[in-house]
Amino acid sequence: MDENLLEIRNLAVEYRTDDGVIYAVNNVSLSVKKGETIGLVGETGAGKTTIAKSILRILPNPQAKITSGEIFFNGEDVLVLSEKEMRKIRGNKIAMIFQDPMTALNPIETVGYQIAEAISQHNKISNSEAKKRASDMLEMVGIPMDRFSEYPHQFSGGMKQRVVIAVALACNPELLLADEPTTALDVTIQAQVLDMMRSLKARLGTSVVFITHDLGVVAEFCESVAVAYAGEIVEHGTVRDVFMKPAHPYTRGLFGSLPKLESTEPRLKPIKGLMPDPTNLPKGCRFYERCPDAEDGCAERRPDDAEVEPGHMVKCLRVGGGAI
Amino acid sequence: MTSLLEVRDLKKYFQTKAGALHAVDGVSFVLEAGKTLGVVGESGCGKTTLGRTVLHLLEPTDGQMFFEGEDITRAKGKELRRLREQMQIIFQDPFSSLDPRKSVSESIMEPLILRGGMPRSEMLSQTRELMDTVGLAARFESSYPHELDGGRRQRIGIARALALRPKFIVCDEPVSALDVSIQAQIINLMLDLQDAMHLAYMFVTHDLSVVKYISDDIMVMYLGQVVEKAPSNELFSDTLHPYSKALLSAIPNPDIEKKTERILLHGEITSPINPKPGCRFMARCRYASEECAMQQSLVECSPGHFVSCCKYDKI
Amino acid sequence: MKKRRKKSRLLDIWRQLRKNKLAVVALIVLLLLLIVAIAAPQLAPYPYSQQNAKLANAPPSAEHLLGNDRLGRDIFSRLIYGSRQSLQMGVVAVAIAAVIGILIGSIAGYYGGWVDNLSMRLLDIYQAMPMFLLCVSLAAIMGPSLRNAIIALGIGTVPGYARIMRATVLMVRENEYIDAARSVNARAHRIILSHIIPNAIGPMIVQITMGVGSCILAGSALSYIGLGAQPPIPEWGAMISDARNTMREYPTHALYPGICVMISVLACNLLGDGLRDALDPRLKN
């Protein structure tokens, strides 16, 4: 247990809106080992970003409420920490990168200053020392030092995302939450950024939660993967296990929906229907209505985690037992 | 036999403070009725501009366009109106491509109202038919876009494009903003519609796996120019241009059994403002040498397979 | 179908607005003001011009709640009738300004280029003249009357509306549904009327609400200097003006209409503020 850097237990988050209560995250448990990279995949509205924001406690207030669960970081429940203690963790021990590099940087400060600021916020060091470490960071993400004093608008999208990553890694965090960091980038640029992140990860030993909807990116970047659907983790295991032997019908459906370069099939095999309305989730299995393998009991009983092989968990009644 | 759409040496420049931006620079292609031409490239390669110029949403700077053998390059007024009934567009962003103040049926009906010459009851029944064709349940008729998910919104966009029974549709990244499971539904729908209505598509996207799936021919663009053009399967099996190769290898592959070697490009796309003559990919190409600085031209290396690289047979 | 849309949209705005208590109060105040203006003859205990020399400057009494002015007219009745003039000033002047402003703004914003440049530069010149001075000279040229004051106010405040409309249109124009409409052969006037204006109207509603307030204020000022409503027609600004000679002895004669102006302007501003929040999609949920 104590090798887990991050451990989420039975997390539930809801948003209260005029149109009703949105059950965004329902009873999610997830753990990240030291140095591990875990891919959190799922479609829009699966609750991926909400999980990440819960870890940092930056959910929109007052709409979002964590209704149950614990999030242990280094054995300490971050959900009960005071705001002051939380500030010491945010950006220092746990950092987050967002999808859109265009809005993540302050347009009126130089990129070097922004990195240096992130460093001096959490470390008592002199300005010149912070500056030096900031330019080291820039080098590390592959930006020549002479661009230290340039402004964000002088950078292209891929370069900006590198700066954002440099800001996030400036304090050498133990955990990096990356929310679709490459989705807004072109494929060749995405390849560059992923490559850079991979070597940085190896060098710094940072654990990463990589949120994405792209199974290809997970295959290339992550060691284990958690598949989110309607606020639940429906399948969880090593990339190898999940990709080679997907056990949940939703995971299998995702793979069937992907156009493959080698495929010669005349039509794709999409998952029928849509994600259930998060204000009105089905009583039994959340995937029941779209599931090609559904049985009668699936509408009534909610599946529990079942282990199909060591470390490969699946929430499906047809695979394992369920709760009421 | 005349082809449905022929574009010859099309150019679209934008005037900027820094000089002329060569968004589309000498693109030629032929599209037959009922076929799909995939246009791939990264942001800034001019693929979207190409689609809009073909549809006359932008005025071409130079070049010629023929629709069913007729020169449409400078079509105006009545001619343009007639032409637009045959050529339609499906947009990328299902959020911004629908007027938030118009209901589903109002959006789909708009083209019919604009064309006129039809009693309202007929328009309504055609609208219902269109909704049925694209798989939108009749109960959404008076819903508003913000009440619907991305997939359904994109179906509205498709129904609107089909309303005038066009022969040719520019699809500008129609599935990029959608989730994979929904994306597959929409791609299948578009393929079904193509079969049923004998539509020709110009499918603009940055996603190579999608484009392979749907296209007969594929055109790879880089900084406003076509660098390679080939039948779909051939482009993937026998990739010639160094940029196409890098692009192909950069696609993250969900198949963990098959690990492809990645060609990492250094640097990023250069500016399309006042480009130098010669290969535009040169600055990022690992095979670049002096001869690449000379004017490149698209050569046919095997039937139907064109490449714009002076060293394609040497690398 | 059309009805449903309007309804659901209004309902939506109302649901957002309801959260802002001050804005709801402001809305109620304005509605009351409107009722008072419409039902003035029924509500007012005396005709507004009925003089009674015996009661000149009389203090408040059971018959005359707020007392009488220097000509012995019932102040309470005059305040009630005055709401008609003030509301007219605000609403009609803003309507004139908004319609012209929306048209100029939409055309400038949609066409861009030299059309935009020309109209914006003309507005620049127009705005370089002090607004109030413009109103004063217009009213002076056309002669002092309530109608002319309204026209002057309306024309004088066009630039603000035109600018806001143009800025919004510039954003709306970038949406792909505008291209979609063009690609199915919609002509410019249809695109502007059916797609651009309905989508750009949100910020205008806020501006219009606040504009009513500032026009009431400016209208009162015009009347105060004798360029608005003419005696004996009661108008709050004119009433203050009327009371200025006896301000020391009977300060309440100026105070009551002053309070009326203040309350109605404040209500407009608060409602405008509330509407701004209610119409801003970013603040939803």
Q: Which has more confidence, C136 or B4?
A: B4
Mean pLDDT (whole number) for C189-199: 89
**What torsion do the CA atoms of B95, B99, B104, B110 make, to the nearest 10 degrees?**
-130
* C163 inside domain: yes
Contact A188 B187 (CB under 8 A): no
Q: Give the chains touching A; criterion: ≥3 Cβ pairs < 8 Å.
A: B, C
| pLDDT bucket at B277, cuts 50 / 70 / 90 | confident
Q: Give the chains touching B; criterion: ≥3 Cβ pairs < 8 Å.
A: A, C
Task: Please list the residues that pair with B13 across neighbouring strands.
Answer: B22
Tell me which chain B residues have a C-beta less than 8 angstroms from the C-beta of C174.
96
* C25 inside domain: no
Nearest CA in chain A to B195: A266
Q: Is the pLDDT reported for residue B267 higher than 80?
A: no
Cα separation, A243 vs A261, in Å, equals: 17
| pLDDT bucket at C254, cuts 50 / 70 / 90 | confident
Indicate the class that CATH gives domain A4-93+173-323.
alpha beta
Q: Measure CA of the first residue to CA of the last residue in chain C; give whole Å.
A: 26
Q: What is the domain-level CATH number for residue C203?
A: 1.10.3720.10
Q: Which residues 79-138 of B have a C-beta within 8 angstroms of A?
A: none
Q: Which has more confidence, C280 or C95?
A: C95
Report the pLDDT value the prediction gives residue C7, as an integer from 0 to 100: 54
B271 and chain A: CB distance < 8 Å anywhere? no
Range of the domain at C150: 74-283
Q: Which has more confidence, A39 or C185?
A: A39
Cα separation, C127 vs C162, in Å, equals: 12
Mean pLDDT (whole number) for A52-77: 90
Report the pLDDT value the prediction gives residue C3, as an integer from 0 to 100: 41
| pLDDT bucket at A235, cuts 50 / 70 / 90 | very high
Nearest to B98 among C1, C177, C183 (CB): C177
Report the pLDDT value the prediction gives residue A1, as an integer from 0 to 100: 45
Report the pLDDT value the prediction gives residue B1, as an integer from 0 to 100: 59
Tell me which chain C residues have a C-beta less than 8 angstroms from the C-beta of B52.
179
Report the pLDDT value the prediction gives residue B255, as an integer from 0 to 100: 80
Tell me which chain A residues have a C-beta less than 8 angstroms from the C-beta of C15.
18
Q: What percent of chain A has pLDDT over 90?
A: 37
| Residue with the two structure tokens 């990116």 | A217
C15 and chain A: CB distance < 8 Å anywhere? yes
Task: Name the strand (E) or helix (H) holding A94.
Answer: strand A94-97
Mean pLDDT (whole number) for A149-175: 87
CB C52 within 8 A of CB C72: yes
Mean pLDDT (whole number) for A302-308: 87
- Residues 6 or more apart in contact with residue B89 via CB below 8 angstroms: B51, B52, B55, B57, B161, B169, B170, B171, B172, C179, C180, C183
Q: What is the mean pLDDT of chain B?
A: 89
Report the pLDDT value the prediction gives residue A320, as an integer from 0 to 100: 64
Tell me which chain B residues have a C-beta less than 8 angstroms from the C-beta of C185.
81, 84-85, 111, 114-115
Mean pLDDT (whole number) for A166-173: 88
* C61 inside domain: no
CA–CA min distance B70, chain A (Å) = 34
Mean pLDDT (whole number) for C185-197: 89
Q: Is the pLDDT reported for residue C31 higher than 50?
A: yes
Pairing status of strand A4-17 against strand A20-33: antiparallel
* C171 inside domain: yes
Nearest CA in chain B to A216: B254
* C6 inside domain: no
Contact B144 C8 (CB under 8 A): yes
Contact B208 A187 (CB under 8 A): yes
Q: Which has more confidence, C284 or C93?
A: C93
Nearest to C180 among B103, B106, B160 (CB): B160
Nearest CA in chain B to A240: B256
Report the pLDDT value the prediction gives residue B241, as an integer from 0 to 100: 93
Report the pLDDT value the prediction gives residue C8, as an integer from 0 to 100: 64
DSSP, collapsed to helix, strand or coil, labels residue B91 as coil
The residue extents of the domains of chain A are: 4-93+173-323
A63 and chain C: CB distance < 8 Å anywhere? yes
* C5 inside domain: no
Q: Which long-range contacts (CB under 8 A, 24 or more apart) does C9-14 make?
A: C9/B101, C13/C275, C13/C278, C13/C279, C14/C278
Q: What percent of chain A has pLDDT over 70?
A: 97
Give the global pTM.
Answer: 0.82
Report the pLDDT value the prediction gives residue C1, as an integer from 0 to 100: 37
Q: Which of A3-12, A52-61, B56-65, C48-57 has the lowest mean pLDDT?
A: C48-57
Nearest CA in chain A to B149: A274
Q: What percent of chain C has pLDDT over 70?
A: 95
Tell me which chain A residues have a C-beta less than 8 angstroms from the C-beta of B191.
266-267
Mean pLDDT (whole number) for B125-133: 93
CB C161 within 8 A of CB C204: yes
Q: What is the mean pLDDT of chain C?
A: 85
Nearest CA in chain A to B150: A44
Please give the single-letter amino acid code of residue A272: K
* C231 inside domain: yes
Contact B103 C1 (CB under 8 A): yes
CB A102 within 8 A of CB A157: yes
* C200 inside domain: yes
DSSP code of residue C74: B
Q: What percent of chain B has pLDDT over 70?
A: 99
Report the pLDDT value the prediction gives residue C285, as an integer from 0 to 100: 39
Nearest CA in chain A to C15: A18
C285 and chain B: CB distance < 8 Å anywhere? no
DSSP code of residue C193: I
Nearest to A274 among B151, B191, B249 (CB): B151
Provide the domain count of chain C: 1
A15 and chain C: CB distance < 8 Å anywhere? yes
Nearest CA in chain B to A267: B188
Nearest to B188 among A254, A258, A267 (CB): A267
Tell me which chain C residues have a C-beta less than 8 angstroms from the C-beta of A17.
285
Q: Using alpha carbons only, how large is chain B's radius of gyration in Å?
A: 20
Residue C203, preceding peptide bond in cis (omega within 30° of 0): no
Nearest to C183 among B84, B98, B105 (CB): B84
Q: Would you state the structure tokens that stand for residue A287, as one six-digit string?
A: 């995937």
Mean pLDDT (whole number) for A132-152: 87
Report the pLDDT value the prediction gives residue C280, as an integer from 0 to 100: 66
Tell me which chain C residues have a C-beta less than 8 angstroms from the C-beta of B144.
5, 8
Q: Is the pLDDT reported for residue A240 higher than 80?
A: yes
Cα separation, B154 vs B174, in Å, equals: 7
Cα separation, C20 vs C261, in Å, equals: 23
CB C65 within 8 A of CB C252: no
Q: Is the pLDDT reported for residue A322 higher than 50?
A: no
**What torsion do the CA atoms of C8, C12, C13, C19 make, to the nearest 10 degrees?**
150
Q: Is the pLDDT reported for residue C282 higher than 60?
A: no
Cα separation, A88 vs A74, in Å, equals: 14
| Residue with the two structure tokens 């990240």 | A32
C4 and chain B: CB distance < 8 Å anywhere? yes
Domains of chain B: 5-101+153-307 (3.40.50.300)
Report the pLDDT value the prediction gives residue B68, as an integer from 0 to 100: 92
- Residues 6 or more apart in contact with residue A40 via CB below 8 angstroms: A30, A48, A51, A52, A209, A210, A211, A212, A225, A226, A228
CA–CA min distance C184, chain B (Å) = 5
Q: Would you state the structure tokens that stand for residue C175, as one six-digit string?
A: 């949406």
Q: Which has more confidence, B193 or C142?
A: B193
A284, burial (CB in 10 Å: exposed 0-12, middle 13-18, buried 19+): buried
Cα separation, A212 vs A180, in Å, equals: 5
